[in-house]
């Protein structure tokens, strides 16, 4: 089994790529074949991510399923020789839940996109390419490939939003999908420029001629170097994580994107940023982390409150969810910035929990939009009467979002709060207040859109289709599972976090 | 005497049964599509599951009680999460306090559910109704058993969820949707305080376990400032759930739920949670005497405030709601005097009586076609004799008429205030006691006595499934007060049961005075609403300003509405606009536009005309020459 296990990450990463290639060969008019292929590939990937999650041995910890292929090499000592660039895949306790999250969101996203009528072939090809990139980032130990996959995840997004997206057009407010797509891409590329600068600097300063993270762990980075280059990584990855004030691409991008892409985008892609902060920034530059974390924790607090109040002031359903993502990612940033086991474990669990929860949100909003062709809160009223299941799903996502115990958000946020109170009690209080504001905007939305008398113009709406029920059911299952039985998740996350924080403490 | 394996160790089964019933009902409801023949049985099966779960819980309660009386308190704890060096646990405790609540909750919930079989008959969401009831009861039972603040908080929030689902049960009604939201948000604001208070205690002691926290606190392991802060914050949570001023606004609106739900919320679940929490945390409050005084003041304010408002409200259920708020205030006042026993006795007496009153109100609404305006009713005692008699007992109990239950519990509360607090508290409390008798008598007289006021109402008595619970509750409401007495050497009164140091005692003049005040209140109502000797209209025109303030409930609701609309929402819109205009349009689009505009200008430099290039070359040459010359010089 051990040998099979060591290939599993490669298979998980490569299978979407292979799926894209297979779909490329199917003629575009054979829509059913394309859908079923996509679903089969996604199901296989989800099953494998599940297996990887269960097979990860939390007693041993560390990086498991490791396998390395050399890609570019020049024998000899640096700088004459060059250890080279390797495709080095492995996953630790932080990466494994993220891989599982991606698998789940990927599969449910395919199901949600079942009815896509406009060029489904191209859609699924790009969708799979993007997910190949996402998986690659989570499991790469070589910084070069990590960056490569990072870009691979961002670029297809541009086309997915620009072609299959939708525009928001209120009389006073217009955002086209092209605008959303362009802004998102420009922001993320700008972020990656900063990341690339820092990675090259790390490569040069490390003096080992390698991009391999585990090898660079032994490199001695001076305190000055760490303090100077840490902000590059924080801002670079932070852009992707929705860090205030570099967050505006995210609501606009979420809103413009088609449903499945919003799910991946808010559910998984934003987690790449937070993951990058942990995997690259904190891992390589622990002293820089120690120095800059007070700033990050402050910005994270702004994220939480600013996102929550912004959500309160929105009129478009998707913008509310978009800003709620900004707010919830604030908890992730705050948790990471505590640099203590409770806070960071909470942050990682929040990444997982928010990924599932926001995917459910976007799936439900997509279901409403597909039927009513509007997301305007002003005109939607009493939808629960006709769309009982859709309403119930939204309520579950909403309750998870406001941190109701028994659902995933509570456990994650509680751990973040406990971590915060150890170091920054005042910010912890602000965080808890942010959760109360979340309750206000979520419950207002539910009361307005789903409850109350049914607006007669929606009297012919249909409830969720079997496919929508099934895919949303998977997400609800995870929300309840993590909420009631967080142990299997915490057990795995805790090993990864403990090892990471040992580096910070040791520096 | 041994009861085998069933006892304190299986107390956790009681909430677990309800939780299992909830999950079963939720899963089962969706199992059969509406068209299949089995689908038509799902509502009844849901109801049966829910009632069976709570009935088993009620039976188990007696075993737990017997075990407790024989073998003393017990606790159970399991590890929940391990993160780094921190271990979070869950645990349950069975002691005298939790067993009282256990009995009250299982009993009232059971009766309410049975009653609902009749009241909710034919409702399109009959099955879901019972599912939500199971969740609500299960959460409340978990709450009273929790030996652990984290577990308690989880159950606490789930109680809030249960109330949200049940208050908003008729979600097609705009007012029900709004009431559900209001209840959740208001209590949630209190919960912000509760969670912070809990985390502060965790930070100070490194544990969520109550026994360990009390131990540390008594040993001086927690600083006074932390004790004060966390007690105050926990009080905030309790004020939210127990509808204490200024968090009371959600409770009167909560009557938007079906009437049996109101009975449950007002009697046993939800509002009892806050009183229970303060009682449970009494060791912490006792170490923070300032906060305990605040508890008493809050209770007193709530008691008088709600009693005055209840005098002018004309909606049947709203009168009862304000009466609940006032009695919750009385319980808080008692807790503020450090008297857990008196508070809990009043909680039980009030719970039984108020459940009776709400179920009676439901019976009235059922019999009159859903009317709630008291001035449309009248003379109902002829058409609905059982409802009228039972209602009279419940109202008498709450008004403090001897020898009904509420009289004795109120007496214990007054006694505790007299023993432990400044006489000013007692004077104000006694005044409000008179008021509470007055408003209770007013609503009873207007609804059940006199002549029918609306000829369209053809009232009829309800079916047995509804009036049997009424009769049972009436018996209890009449008799519960005798729990207060010291019967045997081992049972030295209800107060002694909860506070071993306090024996049963009473002060004769206080007992007589409170009985007299209650009778005066009832007498005034009799003069005003039956004899017509006093005209309420004349009084209200005479004191028009006061009347207006009371009718507007001291403008508290209006103030909150204003604050939400004009402050919170406006702030949200401001941030949203700020994000759009300052951050996005200026900060993000700004540089883009700047590049575009400068490109528009600069491209004219590339004109293709030779003489422009020549001119620029000349300028450049001169500039370079100047620099060269200046640098040299």
* Span B379-416, pLDDT tens digits: 788 888 888 899 999 999 988 888 888 888 888 888 88
pLDDT of residue B416: 87
Bridge partners, residue B81, by sequence = B88
pLDDT of residue B141: 92
**Res A78 pLDDT > 70:** no
For A1, which DSSP code? -
Binary contact (A418, B202; C-beta < 8 A): yes
Contact between B264 and B106 (Cβ < 8 Å) = no
Q: Please state, in angstroms and rounded to a whole number, the distance separating the CA atoms of residues B547 and B544.
A: 5
Report chain A residues whose CB lies below 8 A from the CB of B573.
312-313
Average pLDDT over every residue of A313-327: 89
Closest approach of B192 to chain A, Cα-based (Å): 6
Q: How would residue B2 be classed by pLDDT, with cut points 50, 70 and 90?
A: very low
pLDDT of residue A1: 47
pLDDT of residue A76: 64
Binary contact (A410, B192; C-beta < 8 A): no
> How do residues B310-347 score in pLDDT, each as one tens digit?
888 888 888 889 999 999 999 999 999 888 888 898 99
Q: Which residues contact residue B34 at a Cβ distance below 8 angstroms, ignoring those fewer than 6 apart? A: none
Interface of A with B in 158-197 (CB under 8 A): 173, 183
**How many CA atoms lie less than 13 Å away from B113 in the CB half-sphere?**
31
What is the H or E stretch that residue B86 is in? Answer: strand B86-94
Closest approach of B575 to chain A, Cα-based (Å): 5
Residue B343 φ/ψ, nearest 5 degrees = -60, -45
Closest approach of A221 to chain B, Cα-based (Å): 27
3-state SS assignment for residue A278 = helix
Predicted complex ipTM:
0.89
3-state SS assignment for residue A64 = strand
Contact between B345 and B409 (Cβ < 8 Å) = yes
Report chain A residues whose CB lies below 8 A from the CB of B195.
417, 432
pLDDT of residue B5: 67
- pTM of the predicted protein model: 0.89
- Range in A25-29, A115-119, B37-41, B427-431 the model is least confident about: B37-41
Which of the pair, B121 or B325, is modelled with greater confidence? B325
| CA angle, A194 then A195 then A196, to 5° | 90
Bridge partners, residue A316, by sequence = A376
Which of the pair, B277 or A460, is modelled with greater confidence? B277
Bridge partners, residue A72, by sequence = A85
Q: How would residue B229 be classed by pLDDT, with cut points 50, 70 and 90?
A: very high
Report chain B residues whose CB lies below 8 A from the CB of A433.
192
Q: Please state, in angstroms and rounded to a whole number, the distance separating the CA atoms of residues B391 and B477.
A: 10
What is the H or E stretch that residue B80 is in? Answer: strand B74-83
Which of the pair, B156 or B466, is modelled with greater confidence? B156
Q: Please state, in angstroms and rounded to a whole number, the distance separating the CA atoms of residues B226 and B200.
A: 7
Binary contact (B577, A313; C-beta < 8 A): yes
- B29 in contact with A, Cβ within 8 Å: no
pLDDT of residue A67: 83
Binary contact (A443, B177; C-beta < 8 A): no
> How do residues A107-117 score in pLDDT, each as one tens digit?
999 998 888 88
Q: Which residues contact residue A63 at a Cβ distance below 8 angstroms, ignoring those fewer than 6 apart? A: A90, A91, A92, A141, A214
Contact between B504 and B496 (Cβ < 8 Å) = yes
Most distant CA atoms of chain B, gap in Å:
118
**Res B1 pLDDT > 70:** no
Q: Which residues contact residue B393 at a Cβ distance below 8 angstroms, ignoring those fewer than 6 apart? A: B356, B404, B474, B477, B478
Contact between B299 and B333 (Cβ < 8 Å) = yes
Bridge partners, residue B74, by sequence = B94
Contact between A104 and A478 (Cβ < 8 Å) = yes
Q: Please state, in angstroms and rounded to a whole number, the distance separating the CA atoms of residues B595 and B340.
A: 72
Binary contact (B154, A439; C-beta < 8 A): no
Q: Which residues contact residue B129 at a Cβ distance below 8 angstroms, ignoring those fewer than 6 apart? A: B116, B120, B123, B166, B169, B258
Cis peptide upstream of residue B214 (ω within 30 degrees of 0): no
Contact between A361 and A397 (Cβ < 8 Å) = yes
Average pLDDT over every residue of B210-215: 89
- Helix A341-372 and helix A317-338, axial crossing angle in degrees, nearest 10: 170
**Res A33 pLDDT > 50:** yes
Residue B63: Cβ within 10 Å count: 17
- Range in A77-81, A324-328, A435-439, B239-243 the model is least confident about: A77-81
- B579 in contact with A, Cβ within 8 Å: yes
Dump strand ranges (E) for B185-306: none
Q: Please state, in angstroms and rounded to a whole number, the distance separating the CA atoms of residues B384 and B358.
A: 15
pLDDT of residue A399: 93
Contact between B177 and A451 (Cβ < 8 Å) = yes
Report chain A residues whose CB lies below 8 A from the CB of B588.
183, 248-249
Give the whole-number percent of chain A exceeding pLDDT 70. Answer: 97
Contact between A138 and A286 (Cβ < 8 Å) = no
pLDDT of residue B35: 65
* DSSP letter for each residue of B500-513: TT------HHHHHH
Bridge partners, residue B75, by sequence = B93
Give the residue on B whose Cα is nearest the Cα of A485. B80
For A446, which DSSP code? I
| Among B184, B199, B577, beta carbon nearest to A418 | B199
| Chain A contact probe: residue of B81, B226, B589 with most A CBs at under 10 A | B81
Binary contact (A248, B588; C-beta < 8 A): yes
**Res B36 pLDDT > 80:** no
Average pLDDT over every residue of B347-360: 90
Residue A89: closest CA among A28, A131, A35, A149: A149
Binary contact (B568, A385; C-beta < 8 A): no
Q: How would residue A178 be classed by pLDDT, with cut points 50, 70 and 90?
A: confident
Binary contact (A341, B571; C-beta < 8 A): no
Residue A313: Cβ within 10 Å count: 22
Determine whether B427 is exposed, middle or buried from the number of CB atoms within 10 Å of its CB (0-12, 13-18, 19+).
Answer: exposed
3-state SS assignment for residue B82 = strand
Binary contact (A341, B83; C-beta < 8 A): yes
Binary contact (B202, A404; C-beta < 8 A): no
Residue A168 φ/ψ, nearest 5 degrees = -105, 125
Q: How would residue A360 be classed by pLDDT, with cut points 50, 70 and 90?
A: very high
> How do residues A364-396 score in pLDDT, each as one tens digit?
998 888 888 888 888 888 888 888 888 889 999
Report chain B residues whose CB lies below 8 A from the CB of A435.
192
Report chain B residues whose CB lies below 8 A from the CB of A502.
none
Report chain B residues whose CB lies below 8 A from the CB of A491.
82
Give the residue on B whose Cα is nearest the Cα of A469. B30
3-state SS assignment for residue A374 = coil
Residue A481: closest CA among A415, A396, A418: A396
Number of H-type helices and E-type strands within chain B? 28, 2
Give the whole-number percent of chain B exceeding pLDDT 90. Answer: 23
Q: Please state, in angstroms and rounded to a whole number, the distance separating the CA atoms of residues A25 and A23.
A: 5
Bridge partners, residue A175, by sequence = A168
Determine whether B533 is exposed, middle or buried from the number of CB atoms within 10 Å of its CB (0-12, 13-18, 19+).
Answer: exposed
Residue B627: Cβ within 10 Å count: 10
Q: What region does B439 belong to: left with phi over 0, alpha with psi -120 to 50, or beta?
A: alpha
Interface of B with A in 585-624 (CB under 8 A): 587-588
3-state SS assignment for residue A86 = strand
Dump strand ranges (E) for A196-244: none
Residue A295: closest CA among A339, A258, A326: A339
Average pLDDT over every residue of A396-420: 91
Closest approach of A306 to chain B, Cα-based (Å): 7
Cα separation values, B80 from A486, A488, B88, Å:
9, 11, 5
Contact between B236 and B151 (Cβ < 8 Å) = no
Binary contact (A341, B81; C-beta < 8 A): no
Residue B102: closest CA among B71, B129, B142: B142
Average pLDDT over every residue of B33-54: 80
| CA angle, A477 then A479 then A481, to 5° | 65
Closest approach of B477 to chain A, Cα-based (Å): 35
Q: Please state, in angstroms and rounded to a whole number, the distance separating the CA atoms of residues B69 and A185.
A: 70
Bridge partners, residue B209, by sequence = B148
Binary contact (A404, B579; C-beta < 8 A): no
Q: How would residue A80 be classed by pLDDT, with cut points 50, 70 and 90?
A: low
Q: Please state, in angstroms and rounded to a whole number, the distance separating the CA atoms of residues B596 and A308.
A: 34
Give the whole-number percent of chain B exceeding pLDDT 70. Answer: 97
Average pLDDT, chain A: 87
Binary contact (A341, B573; C-beta < 8 A): no
| Among B84, B158, B184, beta carbon nearest to A439 | B184
3-state SS assignment for residue A222 = coil
Interface of A with B in 398-437 (CB under 8 A): 399, 402, 404-406, 410-411, 414-415, 417-418, 421-422, 425, 428-429, 432-433, 435-436
Binary contact (A341, B85; C-beta < 8 A): yes
Report chain A residues whose CB lies below 8 A from the CB of B192.
432-433, 435-436
The structure tokens listed for B455 are 């000829």
Q: Which residues contact residue A420 at a Cβ distance below 8 angstroms, ignoring those fewer than 6 apart? A: A297, A334, A335, A338, A343, A427, A428, A431
Q: Which residues contact residue A264 at a Cβ distance below 8 angstroms, ignoring those fewer than 6 apart? A: A105, A106, A109, A127, A130, A131, A134, A359
Q: How would residue A44 be classed by pLDDT, with cut points 50, 70 and 90?
A: very high
- Range in A282-296, A395-409, B171-185, B521-535 the model is least confident about: B521-535
Report chain B residues whose CB lies below 8 A from the CB of A314.
576
Sign of torsion over alpha carbons B577, B583, B586, B588: negative
Report chain B residues whose CB lies below 8 A from the CB of A453.
172-174
DSSP strand pairing (B74-83 vs B86-94):
antiparallel
pLDDT of residue A45: 92
Q: How far is CA A143 from the centre of its chain?
A: 19
3-state SS assignment for residue A506 = helix
- A245 in contact with B, Cβ within 8 Å: yes
Average pLDDT over every residue of B349-365: 89
Dump strand ranges (E) for B107-239: none
Binary contact (A490, B173; C-beta < 8 A): no
- B125 in contact with A, Cβ within 8 Å: no
Q: Please state, in angstroms and rounded to a whole number, the distance separating the CA atoms of residues A244 and A277.
A: 15
């Amino acid at each position: 089994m051990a040998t099979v296990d060591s290939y599993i990450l490669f298979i998980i990463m490569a299978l979407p790529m292979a799926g894209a290639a297979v779909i490329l060969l199917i003629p575009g008019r054979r829509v059913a074949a394309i859908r079923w292929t996509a679903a089969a590939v996604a199901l296989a990937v989800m099953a494998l991510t599940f297996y990887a999650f269960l097979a990860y041995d939390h007693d041993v910890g560390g990086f498991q399923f490791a396998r390395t292929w050399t890609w570019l090499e020049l024998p000899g000592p640096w700088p004459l020789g060059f250890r080279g660039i390797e495709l080095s895949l492995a996953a630790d306790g932080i990466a494994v839940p993220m891989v599982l999250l991606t698998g789940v969101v990927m599969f449910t996203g395919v199901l949600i996109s079942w009815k896509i009528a406009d060029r489904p072939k191209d859609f699924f090809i790009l969708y799979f390419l993007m997910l190949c990139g996402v998986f690659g980032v989570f499991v790469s130990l070589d910084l070069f490939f990590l960056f490569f996959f990072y870009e691979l995840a961002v670029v297809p997004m541009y086309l997915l939003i620009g072609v299959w997206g939708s525009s928001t057009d209120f009389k006073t407010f217009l955002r086209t999908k092209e605008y959303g797509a362009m802004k998102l891409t420009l922001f993320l590329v700008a972020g990656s420029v900063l990341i690339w600068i820092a990675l090259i600097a790390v490569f040069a300063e490390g003096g080992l001629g390698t991009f391999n993270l585990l090898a660079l762990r032994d490199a001695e980075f001076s305190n000055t170097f760490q303090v100077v280059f840490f902000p590059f990584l924080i801002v670079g990855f932070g852009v992707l994580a929705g860090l205030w004030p570099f967050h505006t691409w995210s609501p606009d991008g979420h809103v413009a994107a088609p449903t499945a892409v919003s799910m991946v985008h808010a559910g998984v892609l934003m987690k790449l940023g937070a993951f990058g902060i942990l995997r690259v920034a904190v891992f390589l530059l622990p002293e820089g982390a120690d120095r800059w974390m007070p700033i990050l924790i402050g910005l994270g607090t702004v994220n939480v409150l600013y996102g929550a109040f912004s959500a309160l002031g929105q009129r478009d359903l998707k913008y509310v969810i978009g800003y709620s993502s900004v707010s919830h990612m604030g908890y992730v940033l705050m948790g990471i910035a505590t640099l203590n086991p409770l806070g960071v474990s909470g942050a990682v669990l929040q990444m997982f929990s928010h990924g599932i929860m926001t995917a459910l949100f976007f799936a439900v909003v997509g279901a409403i939009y597909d039927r009513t062709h509007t997301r305007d809160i002003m005109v939607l009223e009493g939808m629960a009467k006709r769309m009982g299941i859709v309403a119930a799903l939204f309520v579950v996502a909403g309750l998870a979002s406001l941190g109701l115990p028994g659902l995933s958000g509570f456990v994650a946020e509680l751990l973040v709060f406990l971590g915060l109170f150890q170091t920054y009690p005042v910010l912890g209080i602000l965080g808890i207040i942010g959760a109360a504001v979340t309750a206000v905007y979520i419950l207002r939305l539910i009361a307005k859109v789903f409850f109350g008398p049914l607006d007669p113009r929606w009297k012919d709406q249909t409830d969720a289709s079997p496919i929508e029920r099934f895919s949303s059911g998977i997400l609800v299952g995870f929300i309840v599972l993590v909420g009631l039985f967080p142990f299997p998740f915490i057990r795995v996350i805790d090993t990864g976090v403990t090892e990471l924080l040992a580096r910070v403490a040791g520096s | 005497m041994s009861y085998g394996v069933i006892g304190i160790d299986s107390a956790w089964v009681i909430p677990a049964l309800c939780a299992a019933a909830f999950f079963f009902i939720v899963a089962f409801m969706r199992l059969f599509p509406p068209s299949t023949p089995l689908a038509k049985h799902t509502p009844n099966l849901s109801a049966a599951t829910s009632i069976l779960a709570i009935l088993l819980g009620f039976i188990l309660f007696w075993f737990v009680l017997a075990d407790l009386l024989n073998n003393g308190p017990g606790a159970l704890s399991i590890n929940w999460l391990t993160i780094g060096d921190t271990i979070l646990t869950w645990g349950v405790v069975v002691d005298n306090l939790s067993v009282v609540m256990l009995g009250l909750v299982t009993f009232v919930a059971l009766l309410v559910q049975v009653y609902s079989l009749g009241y909710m008959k034919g409702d399109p969401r009959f099955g879901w109704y019972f599912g939500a009831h199971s969740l609500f009861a299960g959460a409340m039972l978990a709450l009273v058993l929790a030996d652990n603040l984290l577990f308690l908080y989880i159950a606490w929030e789930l109680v809030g969820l249960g109330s949200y689902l049940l208050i908003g049960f008729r979600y097609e009604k705009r007012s029900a949707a709004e009431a559900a939201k209001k209840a959740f948000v208001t209590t949630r604001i209190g919960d912000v305080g509760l969670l912070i208070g809990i985390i502060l205690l965790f930070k100070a002691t490194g544990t969520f376990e109550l026994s360990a926290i009390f131990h540390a606190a008594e040993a001086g392991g927690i600083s006074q400032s932390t004790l004060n802060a966390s007690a105050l914050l926990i009080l905030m949570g309790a004020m939210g759930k127990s509808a204490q001023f200024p968090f009371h606004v959600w409770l009167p609106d909560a009557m938007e739920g079906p009437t049996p739900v109101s009975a449950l919320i007002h009697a046993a679940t939800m509002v009892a949670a806050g009183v229970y929490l303060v009682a449970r945390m009494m060791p912490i409050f006792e170490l923070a005497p300032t906060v305990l005084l605040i508890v008493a003041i809050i209770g007193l304010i709530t008691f008088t405030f709600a009693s005055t408002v209840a005098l002018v409200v004309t909606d049947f259920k709203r009168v009862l709601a304000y009466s609940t708020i006032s009695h919750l205030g009385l319980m808080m006042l008692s807790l503020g005097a450090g008297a857990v026993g008196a508070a809990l006795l009043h909680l039980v007496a009030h719970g039984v009586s108020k459940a009776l009153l709400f179920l009676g109100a439901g019976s009235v609404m059922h019999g009159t076609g859903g009317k709630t305006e008291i001035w449309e009713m009248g003379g109902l005692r002829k058409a609905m004799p059982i409802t009228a008699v039972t209602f009279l007992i419940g109202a008498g109990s709450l008004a403090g008429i001897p020898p009904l239950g509420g009289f004795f519990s109120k007496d214990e509360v007054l006694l505790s205030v007299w023993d432990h607090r400044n006489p000013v508290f007692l004077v104000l409390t006694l005044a409000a006691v008179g008021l509470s008798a007055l408003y209770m008598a007013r609503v009873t007289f207007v609804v059940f006595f006199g002549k029918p006021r609306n000829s369209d109402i053809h009232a009829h008595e309800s079916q047995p499934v509804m009036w049997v619970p009424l009769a049972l509750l009436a018996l209890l409401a009449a008799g519960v007060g005798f729990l207060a007495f010291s019967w045997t050497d081992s049972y030295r009164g209800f107060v002694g049961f909860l506070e071993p140091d306090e024996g049963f005692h009473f002060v004769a003049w206080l007992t007589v005075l409170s009985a007299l005040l209650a009778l005066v209140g009832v007498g005034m109502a009799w003069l005003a609403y039956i004899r017509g000797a006093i005209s309420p209209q004349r009084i209200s025109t005479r004191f028009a300003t006061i009347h207006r303030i009371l009718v507007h409930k001291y403008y508290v609701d209006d103030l909150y509405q204003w604050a939400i609309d004009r402050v919170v929402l406006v702030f949200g819109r401001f941030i949203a606009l700020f994000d759009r205009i300052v951050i996005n349009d200026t900060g993000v689009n700004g540089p883009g536009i700047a590049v575009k505009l400068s490109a528009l200008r600069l491209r004219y430099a590339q004109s293709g005309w030779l003489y422009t290039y020549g001119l620029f070359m000349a300028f450049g040459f001169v500039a370079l020459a100047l620099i060269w010359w200046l640098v040299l010089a």
